[in-house]
Chains A and B, each alone.
Chain A
Amino acid sequence: MISFIRKNYLIIFPIIVIVLIAQIEKYDQLTTSGTFGAAIRLAIPICLAGLGGMFSERTGIVNIGLEGMMIMGTWFGAWAAWLYGPWYGILAGIFGGALFGLIHAVGTVTFQVDHIVSGVAINILAAGVARFLNVVAYADQPTQSSTQSPRIDGEVGDFTMPYLSGGYDTPSLFGYLQDLNYPFISDFAGLLLGASSNLSYISLFALTLIPIAAWILWSTPFGLQMRSVGELPTGSESLGVNVYLMKYIGVIISGGFAGLAGAYLVLESSGIYREGQTAGRGFIGLASMIFGNYRPFGIFMGSGLFGFADALQLRSDDAVHGLLVLISVILLILAIKQLIEKKYINASASIVMSIGFLIWFLNSETVPSEFVYFTPHLTTLIVLSSASQKLRMPQKVGQPYRKGELN
């Protein structure tokens, strides 16, 4: 038990603090089913982008272009959904992302351009292409603009778990528990209720992709070949694996996932294509992949965290204000850890910052909306800087490979 706490204190203590803060009425939005439901919906695109990044990096190709592929997903998704309906939007989004994945693959695999340079170029290209297409495709619409699509109609329907969450007019167990307002039990019931009610079929589809991705990569010969290419391309080549083909497939699948993430964003949260609506989520997906140690369920956990931060930002400024206490407590824990390690200068800096956040919390009612806006990005930075040292990344990731090489 003690060793479990020692290993996971960075996860356990924040949860306890969040639940305690949520007992105060002003901050109860922190753990309601509504917040968790929003968190799931915001986590899914990040998770999909992260899975995309995983497919690419497992075959040894760094994919900074995820953001651009996601932009293509938003545009194509919105366009096809506007023309034919949401499910076609999903297909078109996947196609648009995969197309840009193909471009990235041509650059990095065939021409061995530096992966990050190619990815950055992809992001620039995607922004330009989306803008151009938007002007051309909606030229004869009354709402014509270079940055927005017309509103998309059409519902895909949603699903609520019967008996547990009250779907199909059954009693709702989690809802009952949440209304009891017991600490921890009600908060946890809120989490489960949010995760299992009003999920659209697109969300369900996206969630099933997580185990499927895991199954493909770790339980099929094809997946083994893909992973081997990222670890030791020369060895795979000598065993008859078509290294280039595997890398191509990896990057194209990666683009498809990112495109799906983009289409999801359009169809689930906004119902419209808007320039800049990905707002760095491709990169946050990449961060969740690093946080999740290049594994599907790790990525899901990571994206859940970022989705939660995003949901708080959207739902309630008050709740974000409550997080100030959390930051203060985390800094205090950090300071104690540094004191034990005898790093006195770092420890005193942490203590000063901890007190600073506490004073800020006590002397204000809300956090300025400008700060609330970057909660997910700040969370990403903090999480990465506390987690990214114990990683095991694919061995040859980011290195160009040429057929017939010896090393």
Chain B
Amino acid sequence: MKFSLKLTSLLAPVFAIIVAFGLSTLMLYLIGEDPLETFRIMYDYGKTGKSLVSILNRSVPLYISAVAVAVGFKMGLFNIGVESQYLMGSLLSAALGATLALPSFLHISLIIFVAVITSAFWAAIAGYLKVKKGVHEVISTIMLNYIGTGIIAYLLANIFFEKVELSTTAPQTDLLPESARIPSLNALLGIEELPNLHGFIIGAVFIGIIYYWIVWKTSLGFDLRATGSSPLAAKFSGANPARLTILAMMISGGFAGLVGIAPLTGYFFKYTTDFPSGLGFAGITVALLGRNHPIGMALGAILLSFLERSAQILDLKDVPKEIEKIMQAVIVLTVVVAYEVVKRYVTNKQIKDASKVGSYD
């Protein structure tokens, strides 16, 4: 019985993906492309070894961003500000990391620590405004995104970068020294011929476990979830909503700080104006898709990275690669609807089953 319920809720994402493919088929057909051919090209390109490495590398920050969003979701908080939180953390940790010379382990730990603290602090502002001033966190985090972008641009151009007259170099921090770089896993796995598979992928697995542990195995996590599903009941059970809100925002922001670690220590080694952005918003998609579940989100992150990567080939075939953006968005929209339908079906079934037990006939 319980097993079949779980199976039914797995139907939702499958259904969403089918709908997304159906809609994109229609779109491709309408603009005069051959849908099946397009999907086949995408699939063939996406399953090459090079692509697989790229997909895994992409999915690491995406997954962590989803975890950051999910912590908030679990408490009914919408942290839309992961975007500026991780960029802020990345900038400061990149700037600091470049000035130091430490043993490798210490150096990397320090970078991670600075990123986490910065992002948690930036997220805490939204928590504070919600608790003390009653500003809804969706609006405050979005406004903080714009404010953060401005502050980052200022810091990057004026504080962490020495302008040289007549030079056209874009503002950037200094390169991280060798000791601050996380090595790739290629040598370990014996795949030297492929592009670098970044080592922080192991970190992402740990982050998933930590997330699971905090939310499902600690009393803090219990309070978070209780407040999320029934604020009043949680309050009466002794949870302090104000404290929890700020704490949840800080934990969410802390995870957000980890988003930039993989690109920073893996392949960029500095913060520049073209440091990967938009991961915060993509994380929302993944969190919704994976239903805030650590494994669900991992699958969601890989699926989205696969779509993104395999769509790149479409440019060469003269098919607009933006079709992938639509597929992503349709998946999100249908998945939230499908989950709701499944939830309703399950609740109805439970009520029916319960009434069967109740009547002795």
Contact = CB atoms under 8 A, between A and B. Distances in A.
A120 B326 CA distance: 14
B154 A374 contact: no
B341 A111 contact: yes
A377 B129 contact: no
A64 B138 contact: yes
Interface string A126-137: 111101101110
Nearest to A103: B333
A242 B42 CA distance: 47
Given A113-B336, A120-B80, A374-B146, A381 B129 contact: yes
Interface in A106-148: 107, 111-114, 116-118, 120-122, 124-129, 131-132, 134-136, 139, 146
Interface in B142-172: 142-147, 149-151, 153-154, 157-158
Given A125-B330, A128-B322, A129-B329, A380 B337 contact: no
A132 B27 contact: yes
A388 B134 contact: yes
A132 B320 contact: yes
Nearest to B328: A128
A180 interface: no
A124 B158 contact: no
Interface stretch (A44-52, A227-235, A256-264, A365-373): A365-373
Interface size class of B (residues with CB under 8 A): 35 or more
Interface string A294-306: 0000000000000
A280 B135 contact: no
B323 interface: yes
Interface stretch (B55-63, B187-195, B280-288): B280-288
Interface in A233-251: none
Given A118-B336, A381-B147, A384-B133, A124 B284 contact: yes
Nearest to A112: B340
Given A370-B150, A374-B149, A389 B133 contact: yes
Given A116-B78, A120-B78, A129-B329, A107 B322 contact: no
B328 A377 contact: no
Interface string B290-332: 0000000000000000000000000000001011011011101
A129 B336 CA distance: 18
Contacts of A118: 333, 336
A317 B328 CA distance: 40
Contact of B336 (A117, A134, A136, A377): A117
A128 B325 CA distance: 5
Contacts of B288: 117, 120-121
A103 B337 CA distance: 11
A381 B150 CA distance: 15
Contacts of B341: 111
B29 to A, nearest CB: 13
Nearest to B285: A124
A61 interface: no
Contact of B322 (A146, A370, A374): A146
B146 A280 contact: yes
Contact of A371 (B150, B322, B340): B150
Interface string A365-407: 0001011011001101100111011000000000000000000
B209 interface: no
Contacts, number: 126
Contacts of A319: none
A117 B343 CA distance: 15
Given A112-B340, A135-B322, A389-B133, A381 B332 contact: no
Contact of B147 (A112, A134, A378): A378
A353 to B, nearest CB: 14
Interface size class of A (residues with CB under 8 A): 35 or more
Contacts of A131: 322, 325
Contact of A132 (B80, B142, B322): B322
A373 B144 CA distance: 13
B31 interface: yes
A286 interface: yes
A283 interface: yes
A327 to B, nearest CB: 14
A381 B328 contact: no
Nearest to B32: A136
B328 A380 contact: no
A105 interface: no
A156 interface: no
A35 B164 CA distance: 36
Q: Among B136, B149, B151, which residue has the most Cβ atoms of chain A within 10 A?
A: B136
Q: Among A135, A378, A381, which residue has the most Cβ atoms of chain B within 10 A?
A: A381
B38 interface: no
Contacts of A114: 336
Contacts of A135: 320, 322
Contacts of A30: none
Contacts of A146: 320, 322
A290 B151 CA distance: 26
A381 B134 CA distance: 11
A111 to B, nearest CB: 5
16 contacts: A116-B138, A117-B288, A117-B336, A124-B281, A125-B329, A126-B329, A131-B322, A132-B27, A132-B326, A286-B139, A287-B143, A370-B154, A371-B154, A373-B150, A381-B144, A384-B129
Complex A-B, nearest 4 residue pairs according to Cβ-Cβ distance, in ascending order = A128-B325, A125-B329, A385-B133, A370-B154
